[in-house]
Amino acid sequence: MADCTAQLTPYEAYQKRLLKRISDPGLLYPPFAQVIGELALAITQHQMPFKIYETYRTPTRQKKLISLGLSRAHNFLDNKHVHGLAVDVMLDYRAVRSLKKNKLSKITDSDMNKKNSKYSDDFGVVYNLGVNEIAKKGHRPRTLIEDQVVLDFWNYLGKLIRRQFPTLVWGGTFNLTEGQLIGTDPPHIEYLNAGEIMRQRRALRVLKGRGNPGLEGVKI
């Protein structure tokens, strides 16, 4: 029996690829890419169980994240990944022997996986600690430790970045307040002054000139 599944046109296949996560540091803003390469080497040398999970993000993927409520940005260009100025790193769950994978999955499965499996990524790594609780009436913000080993790994990564990589900013320091042991976005690492570079569209012009996927029709 013939396969009745409609074949995607080249355009449709390309648009589908633009929704995929990209982990190639070569698509980042070049000065940032060089530092991330050095950080990846340092992580290996220190035998830290982290891997680069997402680097450059296409506008198509960013628009999808916004539509799913997974990004607070209203404009797809208001994101440092799209400008090649940010990466997300992940902690390999296999390094956390005190937790079983099925328990970790309850903590770490991305909302994208839950809301729309068509765009899911089977990454098997710890994306987020789920550590920060928003302050409620009568309660201060505090850190919820799912596992001390996980927390220690993230803080070790933050210490490495602070000591050896002054041009990088670690998300584990974001929105850190009294009563919290780690900031709100430990997987996130961005280039110093990324916000200003993004507003100037400086990196985006470089990435478009280099032919990064998804930027063909973007006006800068």
In 3D space, the residue among 53, 43, 44, 45 whose CA is nearest the CA of residue 158 turns out to be 43
In this prediction the pTM is 0.82
Q: Which residues of 177-210 are buried (b: 16+ CB within 10 A; e: fewer)?
A: eeebbbbbbbbbbbbeebeebbeeeebbebbbee
Please, which pLDDT band fits residue 151 given cuts at 50, 70 and 90? Answer: confident
Give 69 or 197, the one with higher predicted confidence: 197
Angle of CA points 70, 73, 77, to nearest 5°: 115
- Between β-strands 168-170 and 142-143, what pairing exists: parallel, antiparallel or unpaired? unpaired
Q: What letter does residue 118 receive in the DSSP assignment?
A: G
Q: Quickly count: other Cβ atoms within 10 Å of residue 154's Cβ.
A: 24
pLDDT at 58 over 70: yes
Write the pLDDT tens digit of every residue in 166-175.
Answer: 999 999 998 8
Looking at 45-49, 136-140, 178-182, 185-189, which range is the least confident one?
136-140
Q: What is the CATH number of domain 13-210?
A: 3.30.1380.10
Write the pLDDT tens digit of every residue in 84-139.
Answer: 999 999 888 777 765 555 444 444 334 444 444 333 344 344 444 544 555 566 66
* CA distances for 99 relative to 84, 91, 129, 147, angstroms: 33, 13, 13, 8
Half-sphere exposure of 32 (CA within 13 A, CB side): 29
In 3D space, the residue among 134, 178, 174 whose CA is nearest the CA of residue 158 turns out to be 174
Tell me what percent of the chain is helix, strand and coil, each rounded to the nearest 5.
Answer: 40, 10, 45
- Domain range list for the chain: 13-210
pLDDT at 35 over 60: yes
